[in-house]
Amino acid sequence: MTRHRGTKKILIAGFFPVFMLLLPVLSQAENNGFIEDLFFRDFCDVGTAVAADPLKSIIIGGGTAALTAAVFLNDGQIRRTFESNRNIVNDYLFEAANMGGEGLFVLAANSFFFLGGEKERMTGRLVIESMLVSGAITYAAKMAGGRLRPWDTGNPREFKSFSGNQSMPSGHASTAFSWAVVIGDRYDIGYITYPLAFMTGLARIYKNAHWASDVVSGAFVGIITAKAIINSDRGRDFKMSALLTERGTPLIGVSAGL
Q: Between these two residues, 104 and 36, which has the higher pLDDT value?
A: 104
- Residues 247-254 have a mean pLDDT of 40
Measured between alpha carbons, how far is 233 from 223 in angstroms, rounded to an integer?
Answer: 15
Measured between alpha carbons, how far is 167 from 72 in angstroms, rounded to an integer?
Answer: 13
Which pLDDT score is estimated for 60? 81
Q: Domains in the chain: how many in total?
A: 1
Q: Which domain holds residue 128?
A: 2-256
pTM of the model: 0.77
pLDDT bracket for residue 59 (50, 70, 90): confident
The secondary structure of the chain in percent helix, strand, coil, rounded to multiples of 5, reads 75, 0, 20
Which pLDDT score is estimated for 84? 94
Amino acid at 196: L
